[in-house]
Structure 1
Amino acid sequence: MSGLVAEQAAFLIDVSRLIQFATAEGWVITGGELWRSPEQQEIYYKSGRSKTMNSNHLRRCAIDLNFFWNGKLVWDKELIRTVGEYWESLGPKNRWGGNFKDFVDVPHFERRSSF
């Protein structure tokens, strides 16, 4: 198994743990974007929706999730903070977009990868 495949597999195991945790906390979670083509990344970069052309979505090591509370879509950083902190507690490679310094991306969860 290649290093990238191992990273992707570990990432998805943590994503499953995250979804179970968030669901137990009362959230309803739906899937957003996991994989992103280089062409789509370029569109997001040029429009300002992304700050990099080196997104972990390109390697399938990032996911955007939709969080619903009482039937309403929520992207409020403080309301989702507990879930983001849980994500980061699962391992040192995990980063939550709500804690990004220069571009806050609350629904974004990623695993840092050197591939």
Structure 2
Amino acid sequence: MSGLVAEQAAFLIDVSRLIQFATAEGWVVTGGELWRSPEQQEIYFKTGRSKTMNSNHLRRCAIDLNFFWNGKLVWDKELIRTVGEYWESLSPKNRWGGNFKGFVDVPHFERVIDS
């Protein structure tokens, strides 16, 4: 198994743990974007939806999730902070977009890998 495949597998195991944790906390979680084509990444970069052309979405090691509370979509960093902290506690390789410097991306969860 290649290094990337092992990282993708570990990432998805952590994503499943994250969803279970968030659900136990009362959130309803739905899937957003996992994989992104280079062409889509370029569109996001050019329109300001992303700050990089080197997104971990390109390697299937990032996911955007939707969090609902009482039927309403929530992107508030402080309300989702507990979920983000849990994500980062699962592995030193895990980063939550709510803690990004400069460009906060609350629904984004990723695994940092060596390219």
Q: Please give the TM-score of this superposition, normalised by the length of structure 1.
A: 0.99
Cα RMSD after superposing both structures: 0.3
Structure 2: gaps spanning 5 or more residues: none
Cα deviation 1:40-75 (Å, max 9, x = unaligned): 000000000000000000000000000000000000
Deviation at 1:7, TM superposition (A): 0.2
Segments of 4+ moved more than 3 angstroms: none
Separation of aligned partners in 1, 2:44 and 2:102: 16
How many pairs align? 115
Separation of aligned partners in 2, 1:113 and 1:39: 21
1:53 alignment partner in structure 2: 53
Deviation at 1:39, TM superposition (A): 0.1
Separation of aligned partners in 1, 2:34 and 2:54: 14
Separation of aligned partners in 1, 2:102 and 2:41: 18
Separation of aligned partners in 2, 1:107 and 1:100: 12
Question: What's the % identity of the aligned pairs?
Answer: 92
Deviation at 1:114, TM superposition (A): 1.1
Q: Please give the TM-score of this superposition, normalised by the length of structure 2.
A: 0.99
Deviation at 1:102, TM superposition (A): 1.4
Separation of aligned partners in 2, 1:76 and 1:21: 18
Separation of aligned partners in 1, 2:24 and 2:46: 38
